[in-house]
Homo-oligomer: A and B are copies of this chain.
Amino acid sequence: MRIGVDLGGTNIAVGVVNEEGRILHRLSIPTRQEKGFGEVIRNMAQLIHKVVTGSGHTLKDMKSIGVGCPGTPDCGNGVLLFACNLGFHKVPIREELQKYIDLPVYIDNDANCAALAESVAGAAKDVDHSITITLGTGIGGGVIVNRRIYSGFNNAAAEIGHMVIAVGGEQCTCGRRGCWERYASASALKNQTIAAAADNPHSLINVISGGDMNRISAKTAFDAAKKADETALRVISDYTKYVAEGLVNVINIFQPCVLVIGGGICAQGEYFLAPVRKYVKESVYCKEAEQTEIKVAEMGNDAGIVGAAMLGLG
């Protein structure tokens, strides 16, 4: 068994995970990063003790601790170099955690952990090469090569959301213009829906939102499109194209056996995915070769803990 820690901006979630990637016991507490890094790690260590005890085991039964965190890690040294939404800068997670618990500690980026979880126990189980893309506030990417995380020579790879698909296009937070996540994240869909609603006062989108732009979410256009609202259908059609164009880039570059898509939008199921698959099939470069399978993420909220625990596989 291994311990997986999902260190997020809101909560710290800890689980005891078996070798098949199943969580045997879990607990979570608020992160409270305002207390400072030392306190956060001390709370994390206490929670680990509690979860291990609660699982009916002891630390001696555990092979390793893995910590998945936002931002850019230095995996070799177990240091979190930079995590904007935690306000952490060069934080020695391994060293600090080992003050309390004598186990090997591994750290990695949360998007990489999600990809590893899908590879070990989820939608990309049993294949060597997979990519997991999460359509959320931004677009998270994790690359699995030969069943292990590929993160480049500096642990900073797989920033697939920051692949420009529209040179000179929309301004991105990263400083460039036209990044994929400006067009294909859940936030982008929400913004596209708000803009379309403003331009088309008679659209059903405005009925659903009660005319309140703050009530428009990434789901609103889907709801209106399913009732045949033309504005919403156009929003979804354009959004589908943006998602698919990025996926085709990823496939042309990586040709993963399985491409896993996660994020709330996947709740739309085939209504969203069938047109994406069609667009991808018609657009990929190599139509003679065997084709990448596009699947929905299966690990859901378990991804962070399971992926982090599996970092210990090496």
Contact = CB atoms under 8 A, between A and B. Distances in A.
Interface stretch (A3-11, A54-62, A150-158, A207-215): A150-158
Contacts of A283: 175-176
A128 interface: yes
A289 B176 contact: no
Interface string A72-88: 10000000011000000
Interface string A110-148: 000000000000000001110000000000010101000
A270 to B, nearest CB: 24
B155 A145 contact: no
B162 A255 contact: no
A268 interface: no
A82 B287 CA distance: 11
Given A153-B129, A157-B255, A255-B157, A248 B286 contact: no
Contact of A156 (B143, B155, B255, B282): B255
Interface stretch (A23-31, A35-43, A164-172, A306-314): A164-172
A160 B252 CA distance: 7
A90 B273 CA distance: 33
A285 B266 CA distance: 27
A159 B289 contact: no
A103 interface: no
B167 A252 contact: no
The quantity of this chain's copies bound in the complex is 2
A138 B298 CA distance: 39
Contacts of A292: 153
A53 to B, nearest CB: 38
Contacts of A169: 167
Interface residues of A, number: 52
B156 A128 contact: no
A175 B154 CA distance: 35
A260 B253 CA distance: 16
B253 A153 contact: no
Contact of A159 (B156, B158, B178, B286): B286
Contact of A255 (B153, B178, B253): B153
Contacts of A72: 286, 288-289
Contacts of A166: 165-167
Interface string A10-21: 000000000000
A242 interface: yes
A256 interface: yes
A290 B292 CA distance: 32
Interface in A221-272: 241-242, 245, 248-249, 252-257
Interface of A: 72, 81-82, 127-129, 141, 143, 145, 150-160, 162-167, 169, 174-176, 178, 183, 241-242, 245, 248-249, 252-257, 282-283, 285-286, 288-292
Closest 5 CB pairs of A and B: A152-B255, A157-B255, A153-B257, A156-B286, A156-B289
